[in-house]
Structure 1
Amino acid sequence: MSAVTKEAVGAAYSLAAMQHAQAMTWSAIERLAARIAPGMRETEARALGQHVLAELDMQRIWHPLLVRFGANTLKTFGQRSDGDPVLGADDIFFIDMGAVWQGHEGDAGHTFTTGDDPQRAACAAAAKALFERVQARWQQGRVSGAHLYDYAQAQARAMGWRLNLDIKGHRVSDFPHSVHRGGDLGDFEQYPNPGLWILEIQIAHPSEPYGAFYEDLLA
Structure 2
Amino acid sequence: MSQELRDTTVLVIGRGGGIARATALAARAAGARVVVAGRDQGTLSAAYDDPGITAERVDVTDEGSVEALAERLGEVDHIVSTASARARGLVGDLAQDTVRLSFDVKVIGPMLLAKHFKGRIRDGGSLTVLSGSSARKPVPGMLAVAATNAAADAVVQALAVELAPVRVNAVSPGTIDTGAYDALGEEKKAGLFADRAARNPARRIGTAEDVAGAALFAMTNTFLTGASLPLDGGEPLV
Fold match (TM-score > 0.5)? no
The structure with the greater share of residues assigned to helix is 2
TM-score, normalization by structure 2: 0.30
